[in-house]
Structure 1
Amino acid sequence: MAIEMLYFAWVREGVGRGSERVDPPADVATVADLLDWLAADSPAHAQAFGDRAKLRAAVDQAFVPLDAGIAGAREVAIFPPVTGG
C-alpha cells in the first residue's frame, strides 16, 4: 500500500523534504504507527516527529487524530497545529 506523505512548515524542514512516497508494512495501521515506522528509519524523521503533541494529521485531505486508521489511504499529511486569523 503506497502512501504519498506530505510535510508542511517546520515538519517539512525537519524531515528535509516536502513529500515522499512510502510503502509501510501491513502492521502499520494508524497515523501514529506510520510516524513510528518512519521515525525508526531516519534520524531526521525521528526528530521531526518527536513531540506528537505538536503534530496534526490529515488522511486523504480530512483532518484526523493521530490514532486514526490509514487502511486504503492514498495520502497522509503531517503538519503543525493550524491557527486562523
Structure 2
Amino acid sequence: MVDVLFFAELQEAAGSGKINVEAGGLSINELKAKLKSSYDLVDLDSAMTAVNEDYSHDDVKLTDGDTVAFIPPVSGG
C-alpha cells in the first residue's frame, strides 16, 4: 500500500486529504492515471509530486510503504 496525500483543491476534489492505494511497483504516472479514473482530479497533472518528502518525476517507481504527496500550484500575494 502507498499513502497518497492531497492538498488544497486536490483534497477537495478527492474528498479526503489522505488515501491508501495499492500502487507498489507503479510509476507516478501510472498512479496518476489510476487516481484520475477513480476521483475527479483534473488538475493532477499540474501538481508537484513528492515521494517520501523528496520532489520526484513521473517515471519514479513506487514501493509499498511510500508516501506520495500531490501539491497543486499556489497563487496569491
TM-score bucket of the superposed structures, by smaller chain: 0.7 to 0.9
Q: Contact between 2:35 and 2:41, CA under 8 Å: does it hold in 1?
A: no
- For structure 2, the 5+ residue unaligned runs are none
Q: Sequence identity, in percent? A: 25
Whichever structure has more helix as a proportion of its residues is 1
Paired residue for 2:2? 3
Find the aligned partners of 1:51 and 1:4 in 2 and give their Cα distance: 16
Q: Contact between 1:3 and 1:21, CA under 8 Å: does it hold in 2?
A: yes
- For structure 1, the 5+ residue unaligned runs are none
Higher relative contact order (CA 8 A, sep 6+): 2
Task: Tell me how many residue pairs correspond in the alignment.
Answer: 76
Paired residue for 1:33? 30
Paired residue for 2:41? 48
RMSD: 2.3
Paired residue for 2:54? 62
- In the superposition, the TM-score normalised over structure 1's length comes to 0.72
Shift >4 Å, 4+ stretches: none
Paired residue for 1:16? 15
